[in-house]
């Protein structure tokens, strides 16, 4: 059940951790160095399979986790912050050697956020409202 406060905190924490890792991957000079000696294999798999939709998938997960991890009354603020984040991470790449920002990445970032938040909203609407501490319905 997504509406329990414990689950909301876990999802929110997962979202923050995921955004930290995503930020590292988006603004570091070479995110593949983490793989060490397996770097060549990882880069080959990424280039052949994941690269065309990598930003879409990455920001879909970010939108989904953030959408499920926040309360409904701040959903718009969280979406706005994620849009700024999506644009900023691409803009910061101007300052990182060997990285170049691309409009296609910006479009994928925003589309992934929209899809992730949309799925999160759909999932939340499917769950029943429960009574909060003061007796009002919350999700």
Query: Contact, 118 vs 112, CB < 8 A?
Result: no
The answer to whether residue 92 is domain-embedded is: yes
| pTM of the predicted model as reported, rounded to 2 decimal places | 0.82
d(CA 121, CA 7): 16
Each residue's pLDDT tens digit in the chain (139 positions)? 555 767 888 999 999 999 999 999 898 888 888 777 677 888 888 888 888 899 999 999 999 999 999 888 898 999 999 999 999 999 998 898 888 899 999 999 999 999 999 999 999 888 765 555 555 555 5
The answer to whether residue 14 is domain-embedded is: yes
The answer to whether residue 102 is domain-embedded is: yes
The answer to whether residue 137 is domain-embedded is: no
Q: How many domains does the chain have?
A: 1
d(CA 100, CA 90): 8
| Residues with Cβ within 8 Å of residue 127, at least 6 apart in sequence | 1, 2, 3, 139
Residue 23 DSSP symbol: H
pLDDT for the residue numbered 40: 81
**What is the separation of C-alpha 79 from the centre of its chain, rounded to a whole number of angstroms?**
10
Query: Cα dihedral angle (108, 110, 111, 117), rounded to 10 degrees?
Result: 140
The answer to whether residue 23 is domain-embedded is: yes
The answer to whether residue 90 is domain-embedded is: yes
d(CA 24, CA 12): 19
pLDDT for the residue numbered 100: 87
pLDDT for the residue numbered 82: 96
The answer to whether residue 96 is domain-embedded is: yes
pLDDT for the residue numbered 119: 95
Question: What range defines the domain where residue 83 resides?
Answer: 5-132
pLDDT for the residue numbered 135: 52
The answer to whether residue 139 is domain-embedded is: no
pLDDT for the residue numbered 52: 86
* Tokens 């909203």, located at residue: 121
């Amino acid at each position: 059940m997504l509406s329990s406060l414990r689950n909301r905190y876990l999802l929110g924490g997962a979202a923050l951790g995921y955004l930290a890792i995503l930020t590292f991957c988006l603004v570091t000079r070479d995110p593949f160095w983490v793989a060490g000696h397996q770097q060549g294999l990882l880069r080959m798999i990424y280039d052949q399979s994941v690269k065309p939709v990598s930003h879409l998938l990455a920001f879909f997960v970010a939108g989904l986790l953030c959408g499920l991890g926040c309360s409904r009354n701040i959903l718009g603020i969280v979406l706005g912050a994620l849009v700024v984040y999506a644009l900023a991470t691409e803009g910061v790449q101007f300052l990182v050697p060997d990285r170049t920002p691309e409009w296609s990445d910006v479009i994928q970032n925003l589309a992934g956020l929209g899809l992730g938040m949309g799925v999160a909203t759909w999932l939340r609407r499917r769950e029943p409202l429960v009574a909060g501490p003061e007796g009002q319905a919350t999700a």
